[in-house]
Amino acid sequence: MIKLTELVPQRQLNELSLRSVGNKVKTILNKVALKKGKKDAEDLQQSDVAAAIPSASLNKYLGQLKAIIYPLYELAIEGSQEQTEACRAVALKMGVLKLMKGSADFGGQDGNFASDKYHAQKLKGSVEAIKDLMYRMQQDMKKDVAKLDPAGAASFSVEDAIEMLYFKYSTEKSALVAIARGVQKVVGGFMLDGRIFRVLQNQLRKAFPGESGRLLNSVMADFIGSIAGITSDYGGKACSAYFDGIRSQINYLSKAFGDQGAPNGGYEKFWNDGDIDWNIRVRCLQSCETSGARQQLTVSDIEKRKRNLGIPSF
């Protein structure tokens, strides 16, 4: 016989999780409890849910789970290159004149970093895989729920499926970790930049607005976080370091050619974008640093160009 003291912790977990689900899902879970001879959903064990609604278990969807992880893994493998490409895209859009004036336009139209738009494109595969997972789970859960509550099944939505998924794994995180570790054996462990992870969360909130987006993000954070290590959010620091690396080149060229009285340090008169090494790399550990420019004009190159342009050297 199970003692009451052994049930209290599970009941408390269930109580907390049930606060985040709607009445429809609560009604379905209460019917599961009655079928199992229990008072209500607060007394459920996760084995009860798994038996009554097997489609709520993620281990039935390993193909979709792998599809979620693969794009993240590819971004992690690219590592500093991915962060550099995002910062480069922002810098090129800003242009030399804004950078010359010290602009640090990190802001995007949605209030996030401008580089987030670049990351979002790379994360489409993961977002689409998560959407596919939830639509499949909704269809499968609907069939399971029909055996318990035909009326509830008729209007069972994707949002309801997310609530059911949240209830199951918010009270059974060890099972979610076990599934994640199984996927990790296939794809391998990796480190994911915290900024990229936050962009993924933002994209999920757009795909699933409201409370369902928050609940789904909670489950995905536990799942992805059990496979990948999430590093610090280097978004602004990485681009700041990249901009500084470009500005140092701009300052060098401005100083070399700007003593002729030309506006903007001689930009587009004596030198242009092609004289800047936009391919410098950013690397972030505890801080962010850039590699040196590889194609910077030497003193000899500058003197030769001045002679060709008819500019006197001093």
Q: Helix or strand or coil: residue 290?
A: strand
Per-residue confidence (pLDDT) for residue 114, from 0 to 100: 60
Residues 6+ apart with CB under 8 A from 227: 69, 180, 181, 183, 184, 187, 189, 190
51: phi then psi, degrees, rounded to nearest 5: -75, -40
Q: Are 70 and 188 in contact (CB under 8 A)?
A: no
How confident is the model over 184-202, as a mean pLDDT?
A: 88
User: What tens digit of pLDDT does each residue of 76-121 get?
Assistant: 866 667 778 888 888 888 889 888 877 555 554 444 566 777 888 8
Per-residue confidence (pLDDT) for residue 3, from 0 to 100: 40
Task: Compute the Cα dihedral for 132, 226, 205, 78 and give only its sign.
Answer: negative
Q: Counting every residue, how long is the chain?
A: 314
Residue 4 binned pLDDT confidence (cut-offs 50, 70, 90):
very low
Q: Are 81 and 245 in contact (CB under 8 A)?
A: no
Distance, in Å, from the CA atom of 223 to the CA atom of 177, rounded to the nearest integer, reads 7
Q: Name the residue type at position 53.
A: I
Residues 6+ apart with CB under 8 A from 163: 20, 21, 22, 25, 212, 215
Residues 6+ apart with CB under 8 A from 23: none
User: What tens digit of pLDDT does each residue of 11-58 get?
Assistant: 788 888 888 899 999 999 999 999 888 888 888 888 888 899 999 999
User: What tens digit of pLDDT does each residue of 262-288 get?
Assistant: 778 888 888 899 999 998 988 877 778
Alpha helices per DSSP H over the chain: 4-18, 23-35, 46-52, 62-78, 80-94, 96-100, 116-122, 124-146, 150-154, 158-170, 173-187, 194-207, 211-225, 235-257, 299-309
User: What tens digit of pLDDT does each residue of 118-163 get?
Assistant: 888 889 999 999 999 999 999 999 999 999 999 889 999 999 999 9
Q: Is the pLDDT of residue 240 over 70?
A: yes
Report the percent of the chain where pLDDT is more than 90. Answer: 41
Q: Using CB atoms within 10 A of its CB, is residue 75 exposed (0-12), middle (13-18) or buried (19+)?
A: buried
- Give the H/E segment covering residue 115: none
Q: Which two tokens stand for residue 119?
A: 């990351």
When mean pLDDT is compared over 110-124, 155-169, 246-260, 295-309, the highest value belongs to 155-169
Residue 261 binned pLDDT confidence (cut-offs 50, 70, 90):
low
The closest alpha carbon to 288, from 248, 232, 247, belongs to 232
- Give the H/E segment covering residue 285: none
Q: Are 254 and 266 in contact (CB under 8 A)?
A: yes
Q: Are 150 and 27 in contact (CB under 8 A)?
A: no
Is this structure's pTM higher than 0.85? no
